[in-house]
Structure 1
């Protein structure tokens, strides 16, 4: 080619390229938008591991902040994240609690196991907020274990694990500051608008008014109702707990009453060590102190376990001393005068001996305050005591759900809230597994994300 013609050829090719791009402009624009949308949808994952709901509440608040700033972010429980999703362009924000003896919450166990058995190399970036309570020896243990596992597979931490002691607002605000410094469009929220309230318990002096054995003759350990009174006006709501410091250690109990009853009520079951000595908390509350003795305690706010929709139906499920938290929810709804239907499902050992507050439950069922009442007894069978109202079966609460699955689905179709209170191991985990079998794991996750599946387990 003649050198003089080179500029003309280049100009011709450039013109052809522009013409081609113009012809395919609609398809190219659609491709670019889809690419950007795909990147945005998978750019930020907010994974939560939550037992009582605080981690979920914080994760939901973080997502709202990101969305309000124009960022698309996906909120998901950790168990639904596959290691293969964590690619080079992925940013993962984790908020998780620690439960039991330094263990993972139920909705984070599978994720941790999958990471542990994964041979993949992770190229994502992540930040982790660990919730805990310094009074427990394994403070934030699972958060640190999860961080170490992610780093061992090649994931890059944006900054070190941030530990939060009892929802300390200053630490949560610092979390937002660190995220902002790492390129996330968020601002540290003000204390009054964070979406999760600070637990700022201060000691109060309450007197033991009455202690009552509720299960005389039971094949299980003794269960006591403790009723306390205080000369000071105190405020709490259903879902809150009471903290009692005993010999430098802390014990936490679900509150069974409402302030309108002018007393603080909770349940304690005796527990014994291998040598036969009683547990620290139950021994002190059920054997050591006497009536009129003064107890120093703290009221702990627990907004993750508040009733999210009092006008909607509620399915209350629990066992043992978990009835305390269930009773508070029922009583609070009755105080409001306007509330949705309530269905109580409760499990214990013996129909003859393990029926705490049975007279009140019978009355609530007789007058229609409880629209449905089901009992499961693991160590007794029909014929049931004549005074037993509602329906009873032999077995456990999860078996009631299987028998009444049609009623369960009908209640949920009306917008019902599920409130689960009692032992985490056994009843809590088995009930969660049964719900997922009956109505689908994805649906249970949706209920949790929308605040309609509330767990108060211990």
Structure 2
């Protein structure tokens, strides 16, 4: 029997006897505590997968999720034959490139040649003369799959810049970058064939089938109405589409619609931010009419707002968009947008209301107060209930001191910094020309490049712009 003495002020020490079993129990508790501490450290390290020596490195730069899905498909296929390290491009470090015998880079382009948010740090360190200047990659063999949209001037601009940067470091390409326009099946198959020719894949292995969009779903037009009658801008239409039971999506996800088109090319696809949640009973969209110089309408907007009859049917896909999924409910959320960008922001507000998150601030820009108060009743109700703590609306055609949403945000810098200090996330949805770059420049001025980069890496700066 062991004992210890308990010291109490002003009292005689009293012997306290502790049995061997109690000592063993105490030791077990101490050991468990140490193991738990070690586990916590391991969990922190596990947030960034360790790169195995000699593994095939698959790195992706993804804004909307397509590049990430393709990268996962590549990793699943190649892991059947050997070690594979799958990382977002921001997670890639010099040791990963040095340890890999082969690297496959699957890179989307954001806007006009910009890196996606999960590639900003890599671009700064490796492609713009940053902290990795001395690193050489002469032992690395690699290939680049560049995803993009040919409607932009800098088609696949970031993927091509990535290839140039790797070449400048001495890395050895297996073949020229494979560019892909809007996940074109033929280009993806060509990439797969090149991997087969270079023995990256073996006969019968595939890495592209089903890696892009989800399954096509039948949809029916339940309702369609114009939200901005009399506006100096083009018409904005709110569509409610019925889907088969059980279709699921999250705030931030994308609807990809098949639009019929005359001629041998067949249908084209158009993407729209989903403005509703599954619990709303319909998939809702906002479509702005595109009016051409000759008076005709755009292929997609014209068909959806004028030609497709009520009760008419169409096919669509729901695309997962993890780069714009909701933050945790406890995190404050600043939503910034203009025009039909209110669609994606509305879905986020609905999701926040569902989980009881009240720390929400919406800054939204449109043309006129008289005609362009999109979803005015809903926003007023959320403001009254406290689910929307702040609402700043700006109308560019009205004679007001603030003309654009970025001006409203600039005027609220002190409030913005206070929200960011509380851990707020900033979600931007709307125009790629004008609004989104201006908001980005403002955040750069306030936070600096490193600060904005850190905000992105923490998942607190998300963009869905078009």
Provide TM-score, normalisation by structure 2.
0.66
* Contact persistence 1:242–1:253 (CA under 8 A): yes
Indicate which of 119, 130, 139 corresponds to 2:145: 130
* Match in the other structure for 2:203: none
CA-CA distance at 1:153 after TM superposition: 4.1
Relative to structure 1, is the Cα distance of residues 77 and 421 closer, same or farther in structure 2, using a 3 angstrom cutoff? farther
* Match in the other structure for 1:16: none
Question: SS of 1:286's equivalent?
Answer: helix
CA-CA distance at 1:352 after TM superposition: 1.3
Q: CA RMSD in A?
A: 4.7
Post-superposition CA distance 1:165-212 (Å, at most 9, x none): 8599x99xx9xx99xx99xxxxxxxx9xxxxx9554222221111111
Indicate which of 449, 452, 456 corresponds to 2:457: 449
Q: In the alignment, does 2:227 pair up with 1:214?
A: yes
Q: In the alignment, does 2:344 pair up with 1:325?
A: yes
Post-superposition CA distance 1:373-416 (Å, at most 9, x none): 0111111035xxxxxxxxxx621111122111111111111111
Matches for 1:305-316 after TM superposition, within 5 Å:
305-316=324-335
Relative to structure 1, is the Cα distance of residues 289 and 139 closer, same or farther in structure 2, using a 3 angstrom cutoff? farther
Post-superposition CA distance 1:334-363 (Å, at most 9, x none): 122x32511011011111111111111111
Relative to structure 1, is the Cα distance of residues 157 and 368 closer, same or farther in structure 2, using a 3 angstrom cutoff? same
Q: What is the distance in 2 between the residues matched to 1:264 and 1:74?
A: 31
Aligned residues: 375
Relative to structure 1, is the Cα distance of residues 244 and 371 closer, same or farther in structure 2, using a 3 angstrom cutoff? same
CA-CA distance at 1:308 after TM superposition: 3.0
Question: SS of 2:327's equivalent?
Answer: coil
* Match in the other structure for 2:250: 237
Q: In the alignment, does 2:215 pair up with 1:202?
A: yes
Matches for 1:258-407 after TM superposition, within 5 Å:
258-336=277-355, 338-381=356-399, 394-407=402-415
* Contact persistence 2:231–2:368 (CA under 8 A): yes
Relative to structure 1, is the Cα distance of residues 96 and 200 closer, same or farther in structure 2, using a 3 angstrom cutoff? closer
CA-CA distance at 1:239 after TM superposition: 0.9
Relative to structure 1, is the Cα distance of residues 166 and 314 closer, same or farther in structure 2, using a 3 angstrom cutoff? farther
CA-CA distance at 1:285 after TM superposition: 0.3
Matches for 1:176-191 after TM superposition, within 5 Å:
none
Q: What is the distance in 2 between the residues matched to 1:251 and 1:395?
A: 30
Q: What is the distance in 2 between the residues matched to 1:269 and 1:343?
A: 25
* Contact persistence 1:131–1:140 (CA under 8 A): no
Higher helix share: 1
CA-CA distance at 1:49 after TM superposition: 5.3
Question: SS of 2:377's equivalent?
Answer: helix
Q: What is the distance in 2 between the residues matched to 1:229 and 1:294?
A: 9
Q: What is the distance in 2 between the residues matched to 1:221 and 1:77?
A: 43
* Match in the other structure for 1:31: none
Relative to structure 1, is the Cα distance of residues 425 and 328 closer, same or farther in structure 2, using a 3 angstrom cutoff? same
Indicate which of 161, 168, 186 corresponds to 1:146: 161
* Match in the other structure for 2:17: none
Provide TM-score, normalisation by structure 1.
0.67
Q: What is the distance in 2 between the residues matched to 1:148 and 1:370?
A: 45
Q: What is the distance in 2 between the residues matched to 1:304 and 1:126?
A: 29
Question: SS of 2:392's equivalent?
Answer: strand
Q: What is the distance in 2 between the residues matched to 1:315 and 1:349?
A: 21
Q: What is the distance in 1 between the residues matched to 2:277 and 2:386?
A: 20
Relative to structure 1, is the Cα distance of residues 128 and 406 closer, same or farther in structure 2, using a 3 angstrom cutoff? farther
Question: SS of 2:329's equivalent?
Answer: coil
Question: SS of 1:418's equivalent?
Answer: strand
* Match in the other structure for 2:12: none
Question: SS of 2:378's equivalent?
Answer: helix
Relative to structure 1, is the Cα distance of residues 422 and 134 closer, same or farther in structure 2, using a 3 angstrom cutoff? closer
* Contact persistence 1:409–1:439 (CA under 8 A): no
Relative to structure 1, is the Cα distance of residues 452 and 147 closer, same or farther in structure 2, using a 3 angstrom cutoff? closer
Post-superposition CA distance 1:73-116 (Å, at most 9, x none): 996499xx9xxx9xx97999855312457x4447689879968x
Structure 1: give runs of 5+ residues left out of the alignment.
Answer: 1-39, 63-68, 183-190, 192-196, 383-392
* Match in the other structure for 1:9: none
> Is the deviation greater in 146-155 or in 259-268?
146-155
